[in-house]
Amino acid sequence: MKRMRRVRRLARRFGAARALCVGLLLGLALLRIADLPALEELRVRTFDAYQLIQPRVKTARPVTIVDIDEKSLMKYGQFPWPRTRIADLVTNLTKLGAVVIAFDIVFSEPDRLTPSLVADSTPGLDDETRTKLRALPSNDQVLADAIKRSRVVLGESGLPYVVAEFDKALPLTGLAMLGEEPQPFLLNFPGLVRNVQTLENAAAGRGLFSIRTERDGIVRRVPMMMQAQGATMPSLSFEMLRVATGTDTIFIKSDRAGIKSIAVKGFEVPTDRNGQLWVHFAKSDPNIYVSAADVLDGTVAPAAIARKLILVGTSAVGLLDVKTTPIDPVMPGVEVHAQVLESALTRTVLSQPNYAIGAELCAALLLGIVVIWLAPMFGPVTLVAMGAVFAALLAGTSWYFYTQHRMLIDFTYPLLSTTLIYLTLIFSNFVREQAQRRRIRSAFSQYLSPALVEQLAQSPEKLVLGGEEREMTIMFSDVRGFTAISESYKHDPHGLTTLMNRFLTPLTNAILDRKGTIDKYMGDAIMAFWNAPIDDADHQINACDAALDMLERIDGLNKRRELEAQLGGHDYIPINVGIGLNTGICVVGNMGSDLRFDYSVLGDSVNLASRLEGQSKEYGFPIIVGSKTALAAKDRFAIIELDFIMVKGKTEPEVIYAVAGREEMAQTERFQRLRNLTIEMLSCYRSRDWEGALFAIERGRRSDVGDLLERLYDLYEKRIHAFQQNPPAEDWNGAFALLTK
């Protein structure tokens, strides 16, 4: 009995929710072992995203594609061409120094333009002509002779059905097995289309160019070894490596989990358990293509062929050899083989080791147990933070292995598993809290009105309207020339939304990273404030630091956008941001109606910050601040006095400043000159010494810092000329009244 009571106590402490989650965790592990299509789809889409974010960077171009393109078809007629022309192509490539020539084409039937066939099929020929034609060598033999004088790999194709039994005496590549028999793991094609025997006997190698797309039609993996009509054969690209290295045998390494790698002398390519290589794609590269017409007529650049692996294929639309890859929706199939070769030769191949599934299961089980054990002990904020840490840890580990080791380790399954367990616990807590609220309502319903009971159950103290006065720093930021940018996206509203997210996100992060609070977004503009709701003794400094960081992040974004525009061939309009900062007493709190309200800020200082942002373009500095902000931050930033202004709608003038940089910039000799020139110019201007002010402006323009003050000098020069024509009133205090808000 005591043992039973102890068991019951432990069960109550463990809880039904935890028991449910343990069962869910084990069930999810079984689903991963079964590898359902939905899980695989999520996994490969994640790997696609990695390649989109960081595609392979080409460090060399060891492969050239001889392209039977539209130009070649226009010059030499429709394809297939006579084998004699193909022979000329092989001969010219060999003379130019090609290392290996491979055909992404199969010559499965005798050439219909062979002289003897023409003699037999052409009516009306005289006997002498027929005899001469029959005496000529066949076109296939001409091509075979050219192939013998070179190193040529012929392409073959796997089929889902048997066409005809091929001659077993035809040559096949030598294979050596290290470990378990690999055949059960290889992709299997019931049928095989080979080249005519004359060509097969002459070739240095033979490989399958068949590429099997994934369920969604995207090419992510290319098999390096395959079963085709009972024969174990290499891919076209791997056979090229074998021939190039002069190796007679391909080595297949495998274990009970499947195939691990495929190797020839000097190259070992990691594969998945089915012998497929995860292709590390680069962007489609037009520089590796040369036209077959240029090779045939001798106008091709020799450097494009010499010491290169040559793939002969087609990009012509009518020949329909087009594939979809993770980073290119349209890529000629022959370039996929080229990408495989480039990855192998530059040692940048991707791999998904056989132990990856074990690592993913261990991560899911470990994190699941941690969540099951700890989640009921913590509040929602801690749980969310813990979940974010787990997600960042999983994603960061996966990204690290991709970028540093080119390994594909899936984090989506452990994350999905942990999230489902977390949501199950949250739902259980919700059900428990609802039950607790029902008990509260039942306990107090006879003492309080139903409305008050409901408020008690829902914690109404968080919904009280009102505010408090405190000193705050207010920020307004806006994009300069956003109308022109929007105009360039008038036919792509989704692209404009994406762009706004791209620049609002880093700006927001810069504010939040420095203890700021986002008040609201107004299109491309942001309003934010500091020192509420959390006290911040350094709110002026944090606001200035955030403003500078915003400019730095926008510079980085502009560089990326400019590069994207160059690669995409579209116009580039830079994003420029103006920022206004002001410090003063404000009212902050929940403001609105009983049904809808926001945590916001009101006050005259808010209005001035908005006006300062609007003046940033006029003064030529992107960050303009009020006097209180400048006074608090003057020892930490490079600050320059700009003007003494009377803002429209205000009765008191305000000295405004520009934040030009951080403390290290303020210590530079160049900035000191910049500030001294400005002080001299402003002193002359406010004392009505117009000639002195103009002379100071002229000296400033000739200095090495004049370019930084060009807009400011233009503004003051225009004012001075106006005052020379119409002098200000005798009681003028140097303030300039702004005419616009």
CB burial class (10 A; 0-12, 13-18, 19+) of residue 429? middle
Which of 365, 490, 502, 307 lies closest to 33, judged by CA? Answer: 365
Residues sharing a CB contact under 8 Å with residue 420, sequence separation 6 or more, in sequence order: 24, 28
Closest CA to 369 of 417, 423, 426, 409: 417
Q: Give CA torsion, residues 309, 314, 315, 319, to 10 deg.
A: -160
Strand bridging mode 100-103 / 309-313: parallel
Q: Which residues of 540-579 are buried (b: 16+ CB within 10 A; e: fewer)?
A: bbbbbbbbbbbbebbeebbeebeeeeeeeeeeebebbbbb
Residue 361: the pLDDT is 78
Torsion of CA 365, 379, 433, 25, to 10 degrees: 0
Cβ partners under 8 Å of residue 305, min gap 6: 64, 93, 96, 97, 98, 290, 295
Give the pair of three-digit tokens for residue 671. Answer: 């900035």
Integer Cα distance of 534 and 517 in angstroms = 9
- Residue 6: predicted pLDDT: 60
Beta bridge partner(s), residue 227 = 188, 232
Alpha-carbon span 716 to 693, nearest angstrom: 9
Q: How far apart are CA 413 and CA 40, in angstroms?
A: 9
The rounded distance, in Å, linking the Cα atoms of 479 and 471 is 27
Cα-based distances in Å from 590 to 151, 175, 539: 79, 76, 21
Helix (H, G, I), strand (E, B) or coil at 251: strand
| Unique residue bearing structure tokens 């990326």 | 560
**DSSP designation for 682:** H
Residue 485 half-sphere exposure toward CB, CA atoms < 13 A: 20
Question: For residue 463, what pLDDT is reported?
Answer: 37
Instruction: Say how far apart CA 40 and CA 34 lie, in whole Å.
Output: 10
Residue with tokens 């109404």: 460
Sign of the C-alpha dihedral computed for residues 616, 620, 625 and 626 taken in this order: negative
Per-residue CA distances from 327 to 324, 334, 385, 585 (Å): 8, 16, 33, 53
Residue 707 tokens, joined: 């370019």
pLDDT the model gives residue 457? 53
Question: What are the helix (H) ranges across 445-529?
Answer: 450-457, 482-488, 493-512
What are the tokens at 375? 């989640």
Question: Quick one: which H or E segment has residue 198?
Answer: helix 197-202
Place of tokens 């092989």: 90
Residue 62, pLDDT score: 93
User: Rounded distance, CA 635 to CA 288, Å?
Assistant: 57
| CB within 8 Å of 123: residues ≥ 6 apart | none
Separation CA 599–CA 532 (nearest Å): 10
| Amino acid of residue 6 | R
pLDDT value, residue 718: 93
The 10 Å Cβ neighbour count of residue 584 is 19
Cβ atoms of residues 288 and 58 within 8 Å: no
Closest C-alpha to 167, from 210, 223, 206, 212: 206
Tokens 């939304």 belong to residue: 497
Question: What token pair was written down for 111?
Answer: 């050439």
Residues 465, 462: Cα–Cα separation, whole Å: 9
Q: Which residues in the chain land under pLDDT 70? A: 1-18, 34-35, 118-122, 124, 126-131, 133, 135, 165-170, 317-320, 354, 375-380, 429-430, 432-466, 590, 592-599, 648-651, 739-741
> What pLDDT does residue 124 have?
66
Q: Which of 352, 372, 350, 363 is nearest to 413 (CA)?
A: 363
Q: How many angstroms separate the most distant Cα atoms in the chain?
A: 122
Beta bridge partners of 477: 526, 579
Asked whether the beta carbons of 239 and 174 are under 8 A apart, the reply is: no
pLDDT of residue 359: 77
What beta strand segments (E) does 513-558 contain?
Answer: 517-522, 525-530
CB neighbour class for 199 (10 Å; exposed up to 12, middle 13-18, buried from 19) = buried
Which residues does residue 176 pair with via DSSP β-bridges, in sequence order? 251
Helix, strand, coil percentages, rounded to 5, for the chain: 50, 20, 30
Whose tokens are 């919904």? That residue is 463
What is the rounded distance in angstroms from the CA atom of residue 356 to the CA atom of residue 313?
36
Structure tokens of 61? 């171009």
Residue 79, class by beta-carbon neighbours within 10 Å (0-12 exposed, 13-18 middle, 19+ buried)? middle
Phi, psi of 136 (to 5 degrees): -75, 150
- Please give the Cα distance from 344 to 340 (Å, whole number): 6
CA distances to 270, 407, 544 from 262, in Å: 7, 17, 58
End-to-end CA distance of the chain: 83
Give the residue ranges of DSSP H helices in 276-355.
292-297, 333-345
